[in-house]
């Protein structure tokens, strides 16, 4: 089978003169040639019958990486998080979460709508942590006035910031004492592990379940995996069916995820390096109205003046660089399809666009 010829591991369709360097998110990556080859040679079967060897291999690999008994493949991180919260919490029960964490901000509040589970959200500090005393204070006493608090849900990385091992240890210990379970929205947990210099399983050890996105920095086109104990994953698998998320020959997707877990974890360090090169380059332009405010793992945050907000996105696009537009704080994300050369091009495009 042939695919767009590539000089390296990049399909040719995504290189060349008209190529746009897309910094909106690490979700914009396209499958590499190696990933396409993995799809082409994937053995498949009906995963609802448990017959897809590639899905089974991906789930086993993800569980092993995160130090858990079992895993289940989902179509998205949203679905994986929802199934996890529903596996931990019953109707009318609640979970503790940080205000601004993805589950309560960007997932259409599915936990309330579909799970009848209440989110008790607590403002996070400037490194993305829910303060320990606030967590402790949020666990309800056994009293008919209150919902039953079942779960603490953390997010790592949050806005690219890795939660420290020390914080995860303390926060999960606080709630475990009170009999709660713990979930990690680890959409970018591999970025966190790489940045913290630990094995993914060392992060996984703090949590009963972890949701890991394959389609962010890891470069898969689709998919997330939820890992945990055999019991919790069996519950999540039933909920996935209920949500309409059980898939048939899902090996074509799992092949990408497996390829990503085998090839694209350690290289996240390059994305982190590229993000810091980008942050340094932009700061070095010394443009009025453009302030680099943070660089966290693969993300750079930049504050723009009103004048720049209005014209920068289109001026950059004319120069082959795409950013998320129309906000005074922009997020620029490094990923698999952004090279060190691209970072240089982006910095000069910003320089040109700002002075034009």
Ligand X SMILES: *Cc1c(COP(=O)(O)O)cnc(C)c1O
Backbone angles phi, psi at 104, to 5 degrees: -100, 0
Q: Is 124 in the site for ligand X (CB under 6 A)?
A: no
d(CA 252, CA 15) in angstroms, rounded, equals 25
- The DSSP secondary structure of 52-66, one letter per residue, reads -HHHHHHHHHHHHHH
Closest to ligand X by CB, 63 or 222: 222
Residue, CB closest to ligand X: 77
Q: Exactly one of 54, 78, 111, 121 binds ligand X (CB under 6 A); which one? A: 78
Closest to ligand X by CB, 10 or 157: 157
Closest to ligand X by CB, 260 or 290: 260
Site string for ligand X, 146-185 (x = CB under 6 A): ---------x-----------------------------x
Give the interface segment with ligand X, choosing from 74-82, 251-259, 279-287, 332-340 (CB under 6 A): 74-82
d(CA 173, CA 180) in angstroms, rounded, equals 10
Size, binding site for ligand X by CB under 6 A: 12
Q: Exactly one of 73, 168, 213, 279 binds ligand X (CB under 6 A); which one? A: 213
335-to-275, 279, 313 alpha-carbon distances in Å: 9, 14, 19
How many Cα atoms within 13 Å fall on the side-chain side of residue 236? 28
Site string for ligand X, 312-331 (x = CB under 6 A): --------------------
CB atoms within 10 A of CB 352: 14
The answer to whether 331 and 299 have CB atoms below 8 angstroms apart is: yes
Q: Is 240 in the site for ligand X (CB under 6 A)?
A: no
* SS3 category, 264: coil
Q: Is 187 in the site for ligand X (CB under 6 A)?
A: yes
303-to-239, 262, 287, 325 alpha-carbon distances in Å: 41, 36, 11, 12
Q: How far is the CB of 288 from ligand X (least distance, A)?
A: 32
Give the interface segment with ligand X, choosing from 15-23, 72-80, 313-321, 348-356 (CB under 6 A): 72-80
Q: Exactly one of 77, 128, 160, 281 binds ligand X (CB under 6 A); which one? A: 77
CB atoms within 10 A of CB 168: 23
- The DSSP secondary structure of 13-34, one letter per residue, reads GGSSTT--EE-S-TT-PPPPHH
Closest to ligand X by CB, 33 or 159: 159
Binding site for ligand X (CB under 6 A): 76-78, 81, 102, 155, 185, 187, 213, 215-216, 224
């Amino acid at each position: 089978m042939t695919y767009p010829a590539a000089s390296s591991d990049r399909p040719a369709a995504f290189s060349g003169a008209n190529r746009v360097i897309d910094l909106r998110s690490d979700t914009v990556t396209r499958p590499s040639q190696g990933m396409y080859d993995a799809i082409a040679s994937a053995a498949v079967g009906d995963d609802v019958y448990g017959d897809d060897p590639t899905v089974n291999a991906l789930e086993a690999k993800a569980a092993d990486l995160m130090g858990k008994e079992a895993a289940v493949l989902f179509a998205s991180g949203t679905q994986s998080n929802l199934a996890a919260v529903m596996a931990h919490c019953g109707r009318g029960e609640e979970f503790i979460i940080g205000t601004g964490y993805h589950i309560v901000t960007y997932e259409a509040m599915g936990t309330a709508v579909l799970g009848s589970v209440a989110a008790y959200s607590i403002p996070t500090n400037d490194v993305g942590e829910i303060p320990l005393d606030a967590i402790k204070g949020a666990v309800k006493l056994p009293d008919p006035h209150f919902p039953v608090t079942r779960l603490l849900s953390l997010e790592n990385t949050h806005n690219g910031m890795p939660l420290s091992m020390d914080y995860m240890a303390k926060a999960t210990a606080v709630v475990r004492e009170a009999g709660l379970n713990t979930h990690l929205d680890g959409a970018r947990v591999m970025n966190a592990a790489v940045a913290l210099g630990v094995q993914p399983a060392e992060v996984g050890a703090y949590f009963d379940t972890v949701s890991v996105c394959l389609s962010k920095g890891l470069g898969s086109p689709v998919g997330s995996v939820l890992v945990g104990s055999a019991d919790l994953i069996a519950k999540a698998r039933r909920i996935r069916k209920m949500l309409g998320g059980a898939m048939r020959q899902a090996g074509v997707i799992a092949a990408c995820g497996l390829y990503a877990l085998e090839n694209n974890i350690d290289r996240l360090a390059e994305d982190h390096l590229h993000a810091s090169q980008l942050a340094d380059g932009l700061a070095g332009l010394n443009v009025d109205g453009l302030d680099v405010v943070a660089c966290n793992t693969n993300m750079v945050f930049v504050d723009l003046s009103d004048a720049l907000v209005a014209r920068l996105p289109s001026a950059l696009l004319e120069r082959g660089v795409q950013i998320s537009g129309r906000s005074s704080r922009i997020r620029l994300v490094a990923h698999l399809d952004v090279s060190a050369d691209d970072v240089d091009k982006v910095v000069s495009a910003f320089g040109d666009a700002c002075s034009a």
